[in-house]
Structure 1
């Protein structure tokens, strides 16, 4: 709208509107609607009522208990609720003394989970997530991921989160350090949730694997499960069960990382079946130090100095030849393997695997060893063969057979890039910080991360330490007529 001012005649003092510009852009203004005050009060009251109902539903047990005690105090006097509390405390104490596992499962753990959910996570949820950049603001409204559930264990908390629409777990993996400091944890790992759109956050409160684990007792033969051999402990306190039947295992770790702990714990767990003739362990020991200490326990043993022309390689080729003969025998007869005295389950333990595949000075021996290992790892699972290979160097050019090992263990490594080399791409982003394991033997020896064939999520574990005295006792148990000296 244009305005033109002209000289006014005597008595005139108004502005005269000139003709509108036909090419001027139209101006639009939304209508202004004022909400009645009564409607505002109704909406706010409804919101408050919904919040109260949500609080009551979320805390139904403590609210019901407090309400019942309050009603008893009002109806019969405060002596009655005090007496009820005393009886409940005595009953819980007796329960904890008689059957502590069930008490922890049904009382202690749910109570701790509720406490930490209310006073740790829900209390600091919004400020921590806002600082970490996990919230979104659209048209002045803040959208916040939902805290669904908290499960508190002895060493870590598992928090189930419903992510925002369009949000991916990668966004949470990038800010794990922020979440750890925000909620007072030493470490945070991101795991896939129970359905799309959800993730589990593992908040590690204290290191359950900081102390060395002594050698586990030799189990009874009936308790040995080749698909779940107990060799140590997981971070959550549960037994670390290593699968041998139907797989191969690769162990990678720097010098002093504890590869011997994994190997000897496995042999110790298999000892009852070895004595019964259902399991045989064939050992290849280029170092001549680790496995030679209990060589009488092994069905066959090969070391580099015993036959420079190929003693170790001959052992591997003999295993590959027997494996092929067994496969021919089982062809068309059975699809699953069951150990027997005629066809025992064979574990081929290769210490310093890289020596046979890269460092051996004889080129012909390297080719023969690599060929035999390729046959065993590619075809041996279905006919009762398991290869356990240990190596220090994680590079692919040192061992190009590592993809034939479905289950892998990363102990302490020197560089962060080596973690993904051993466990697969993205393993370190998922919490496998093998390069940060302490080099102090009392703290970090035997500590590592396991990535199984069926799961992409690495699990932090520690193998039990089998001392020289324990190996002597194993030799004496296996050969009582031979002095273990």
Structure 2
């Protein structure tokens, strides 16, 4: 009985293994067939020519030649399909990628005159010309027979066409009477004609513009972040650009403002910077200060990499006051010695990371808002050279919400609500070339940035999960943890007023009642109380 059960169990396992093998085989054959059809569709002329040649040989009675022609027609399709299915990376690098880029270059060079005319880059002028013919009665003498109108087109010169990865680069020189602004205005129609996913323009000289077309979008899939290991100070890697290249964000000497509506992926950039600096924090050359005005929900996950954390406006003002004292002390030491701070373990780079900046600058009480704006303005205006930089995240870019918007040296525009907000964040005229308001809600972490040369680029930050942030905080804890200055309690019976506010040396501005304003008891001049007398008025007992 036991042997029968064991045999049945073995047969059942063998049946399951056979079914799984059959399923994998069917999936593989289906993938190979799909890849073969794609290859055939891309090489229709080659396949049709060889099939026609095979049919002719078959009709002529050449059976061997007919079979060889069919092998030449469909053999490369089968080999490419198996290669692309089993080893897609090497197939893309060796075969598919170079062929696709060669096709892009050939298409641009062949159709440049047509593209120039249709995109408004060319001009035409009409001239009259005479055609001459040999008169039959005049022997060899030429006489004018008729005149016709000829249209001559003048195109901008296509200097060079290059490809790299998924990028198609067009180096264009303006024609006579044309400016680089005309070429930049025609970049959008060129991108649409080429079927590009995005584009950007780079002015090389006053007459030459490089139009970069992104032919394949590499930002459609979210990519998880990786735990950093190397110590970086000048820049951190946040994600990738639209051409697939890494996206590096400069930190040293830059104040960064990240703007995006709710759910646009500000947390990915926030933790991309903070976690990217975590190895430097552990090494002691960077110190992170966190201000999380969402009740500590964001920063609390990775609390270990911060030297100090504030979770409400009062604590934020205390933290800014402490950071300003560091800036003032460092400035006194650097005056007359060095103009740009160099981070060391004894004198680290200080990075202030603020989440929900609007709560501190717009949505708190007037006195706290005024003091926080003053402290933050001093840090933004003086901190770049003194080794104190700011990273701030906000949802609303309006001036009444972020009055210090102009003091940030670089901005990142995540998904925004309107073209007007894009103009506020990136500058005038950027709504057309960097449409952050058109980013899909299904692509969190996608943003537009403006490079140092004025060109724009689309990027996407890697995704940071809570578990990954906790791992970074546990692996790279901050060696220095500081407490915030504690403000004395405010009297509850005295209304808040601007005249009753003084600044503490080690904390935020708090209310204090001067001794000269304390209420004193005044004796009555008449009545039973006055007859009893009081030492304060000099009247003795009766």
TM-score by length of 1: 0.71
Q: 1:414-457 CA distances to partner (integer Å, 9 max, x unpaired)? A: 1012112111122233x2111111112xxx111101224x3211
State the shift of 1:243 in Å. 0.6
Q: Moved runs in structure 1, 4+ residues, more than 6 A?
A: 107-111
**Is there any run of 5+ residues in structure 1 with no aligned partner, and where?**
1-92
Aligned to 1:281: 288
Distance 1:455 1:419 in 2: 19
Distance 1:420 1:240 in 2: 23
Matched, 1:295 2:303: yes
Deviates more, 1:258-267 or 1:124-133: 124-133
Aligned to 1:312: 316
**Is there any run of 5+ residues in structure 2 with no aligned partner, and where?**
1-82, 127-150, 480-542
Distance 1:324 1:299 in 2: 19
Distance 2:444 2:334 in 1: 41
Distance 2:238 2:354 in 1: 18
SS at 1:233's partner residue? strand
Distance 2:188 2:280 in 1: 45
SS at 2:172's partner residue? strand
Distance 1:127 1:274 in 2: 57
Of residues 102, 105, 108, the one that matches 1:117 is: 105
From the superposition, tell whether residues 479 and 176 of structure 1 become closer, same or farther in structure 2 (CA, over 3 Å).
closer
Q: 1:159-205 CA distances to partner (integer Å, 9 max, x unpaired)? A: 1111212222332343444222322223333321x222111112222
Aligned to 2:438: 436
Contact 2:174 2:183 in 1 (8 A): no
State the shift of 1:115 in Å. 3.9
Larger Cα-atom Rg: 2
From the superposition, tell whether residues 114 and 145 of structure 1 become closer, same or farther in structure 2 (CA, over 3 Å).
farther
From the superposition, tell whether residues 480 and 271 of structure 1 become closer, same or farther in structure 2 (CA, over 3 Å).
closer
Q: 1:243-274 CA distances to partner (integer Å, 9 max, x unpaired)? A: 11111111000101111100101112111111
Distance 1:420 1:234 in 2: 21
Aligned to 1:163: 174
Aligned to 2:454: 456
Aligned to 2:264: 257
From the superposition, tell whether residues 350 and 479 of structure 1 become closer, same or farther in structure 2 (CA, over 3 Å).
closer
Contact 1:216 1:231 in 2 (8 A): no
Matched, 1:336 2:321: no
Distance 2:193 2:275 in 1: 43
Of residues 241, 246, 267, the one that matches 1:239 is: 246
SS at 2:212's partner residue? strand
Contact 2:278 2:477 in 1 (8 A): no
Distance 2:374 2:165 in 1: 47
Q: 1:54-80 CA distances to partner (integer Å, 9 max, x unpaired)? A: xxxxxxxxxxxxxxxxxxxxxxxxxxx
Q: 1:213-266 CA distances to partner (integer Å, 9 max, x unpaired)? A: 211231223xx2x22211111112221111111111110001011111001011
State the shift of 1:138 in Å. 2.5
Of residues 194, 202, 217, the one that matches 2:212 is: 202
Relative contact order, higher structure (CA 8 A, sep 6+) = 1
Contact 2:307 2:478 in 1 (8 A): no
Aligned residues: 371
Give the CA RMSD over aligned residues. 2.8
Contact 2:272 2:464 in 1 (8 A): yes
State the shift of 1:373 in Å. 0.9
SS at 1:231's partner residue? strand
Contact 1:110 1:151 in 2 (8 A): no
Distance 2:98 2:174 in 1: 24
Matched, 1:189 2:200: yes
Distance 2:168 2:174 in 1: 18
Of residues 402, 406, 424, the one that matches 2:405 is: 402
TM-score by length of 2: 0.64
